[in-house]
Amino acid sequence: MKPTLGLAGRALAFSAPLLFSLPAFAQEAAAAVPVPDKGDTAWMIMATVLVMAMIVPGLALFYGGLVRTKNMLSVLTQIIAVASLAMVLWVMFGYGLTFGGDANQFLSTGKFFLAGVTADSTAATFTDGVVIPEFVFIAFQMTFAAITVALVVGGLVERMKFSGLMVFAIVWLFIVYYPIAHMVWYLGGTDEATGLIFGWGALDFAGGTVVHINAGVSALVGAIILGKRIGYQKEVMAPHSLTMTLIGTGLLWVGWFGFNAGSALEANGSAGLALINTFVATAAAVLFWMLTERVLGHKSSLLGACSGAIAGLVAITPAAGNSGPFGAILLGAIAAIACCIFVMKIKAKLGFDDSLDAFGIHGVGGIIGSIGTAVTMLPALGGPGAEDYAMGAQLIIQIQAVLVAIIWAAVGSAIAFGIAKVVTGLRVTEEVEREGLDLGEHGERAYNY
C-alpha cells in the first residue's frame, strides 16, 4: 500500500467518504503520527448508530406502516434480516472489496476479514493529518451498505419470498453495492486505482448515487421482474398504519443527520453545513409535496408529508455538504414536486408495481439530487463552490455518474434477481400471497388483538 497522507489533500473537500488506513511504515517515517481526535471519534460513533436507527426501527416502520396488516411482520423481518446480512458480509468481504486498498477502478482486493485492522488503525478524513479510528470508519460504511439493501425491499413487498430475498441480497451486495461504492468513494494512490466515478470528479457527499439511485433502480428492476401484486389497482391496498409510517419517517429524518453530517467524517463546519441542509431541504420538501397534492386536486395528506420528507432527505444526500441552506431548500422543493407528480400521476400509467415507491422516491429523488448537486455548488446560490466553479462541466460529470449508476444497478440487480429465481424462486404462492406473508413465510402475525 502506498503512503496515504498526501492523498487526502487531493481535492477531497466536497467529495464523499473515502479512507485510508495508515500502514505501520508510514507511521515510522512521519514526524508527527496523526492521532484520532476524541471529538471526531465521538461524533463518528454517534453518527454510525444514528444511521442504524434509520434502518431498524426507522425504515422498517416506514415501510411496514404502508403495507396491509397481513404483511406487516414480513416487511419488518425482511428489513432486519437483509440489514444484518449486509453487516456480516461487510466485515468479511464488503470492506475489503470497497475500501481494501489499491487495485483497480471497480473494486479493491485487500483487508478481507478485516485483516491487519486493529484498534490503533486509522483512516484519513478530508483534512490533511486528521484521522479517525479505522474500526469507526468500517462501521460507519457498514451501515450504508445495510440501509441500501434494505431500501430495495420497498419495491418487492407483499409478494417476495423471504429466502429469495436473502439470496438476492447476497449476490446484489457483491455485484452492485461494493463496486458502485468503490467507484464513487475510493481514492487510490494512482488514477488507475481510484474509483472510476470519483476519478471523474463527481460529487456525492453522502450517497445519492451509491445509496439512493442504486437502491431505487434495483427496486424498480425487482418490481418488474416479480410482477404486480395480486389485485393491484383492483383491490384496496391502503396502508395499514400511517401512524407507524410517521414514526418511521421521524426516525429516518433524525438518523439522516448521522448519515449526512457524519459523511463529513469529522466534527467540523462541513458536518454543520450538512446538518442544517438536512433540516431545511427536508422541511421544504414536506411543504412542497403537500402543496403539489393540492395543485393536483387532492387534499394535503400525512402520507404526502412523510413522502415529501423522504424525497427531500434523498435529494439533499449528495448535496449535503455541497450546498448552502437556500440551495438545499430549492433542491428539496424541486425533488418533492417531481417525486409527487411521478408517484401520483405517472407511475399508474407505467404498469409496474413499485409497491412502496422505492424508485419513485429514492430513484427519482436521487437522480434529481445527484444532478442538482452541480447547481447547488454555485456560490451564487450560497454553495461552497470556488469563485471559478464551472457548473456546466460539473453538470456533465454528475449526469455521467448518474447514468453509470443507473445502468450498473439495473444490469446487476437483474442478474441478482435471476440467480435468486433459480436458487429459491422469487414469488410466494398465490395462496400465501392472499393469506399474507406474515403467516405464510414466517408463521407469525404482527398483531394478536
Partner 1 sequence: MKLIIAIIKPFKLDPVREALSDIGVQGLTVTEVKGYGRQKGHTEVYRGAEYTVNMVPKLKLEIVVTDDLAPRVVETISAAAATGSIGDGKIFTLDVGGAVRIRTGETNETAL
Which residues make up the interface to partner 1 (CB under 8 A)? 233, 236-239, 298-299, 301, 303-304, 307, 343-345, 347-348, 357
Q: Alpha-carbon distance 210 to 244, whole Å? A: 27
Closest listed residue to residue 410, CA positions, set 230, 208, 180, 245 = 180
Asked if 43 contacts 132 with a C-beta cutoff of 8 angstroms, the reply is: no
Quote the cell numbers at residue 335. Answer: 425533488
Q: How far is the CB of 253 from partner 1 (least distance, A)?
A: 19
Q: In whole angstroms, what is the distance from residue 425 CA to residue 205 CA?
A: 37
Residue written as grid cell 417476495: 160
- The minimum distance between CB 345 and partner 1, in angstroms, equals 7
Q: How far is the CB of 239 from partner 1 (least distance, A)?
A: 6
Paired strand residues for 132: 123
How far is the first Cα of the chain from the last one, in angstroms, to the nearest whole number? Answer: 59
131 beta partners: 124
Residue 375 C-alpha cell reads as: 447547481
Cell of 126: 478530508
Kindly state the smallest distance separating residue 216's Cβ from partner 1, in Å.
15
Strands 122-124 and 131-133: antiparallel
Least distance CB 397 / partner 1 (angstroms): 33
Strand partners, 433: none
Residue 125 C-beta: closest distance to partner 1, Å: 40
Burial class (CB in 10 A: 0-12, 13-18, 19+), 423: middle
CB 309 within 8 A of CB 285: yes
Closer residue to partner 1 in complex, CB, 347/442: 347
CB of 65 to partner 1, least distance (A): 11
| Cβ pair 316, 323 in contact under 8 A | yes
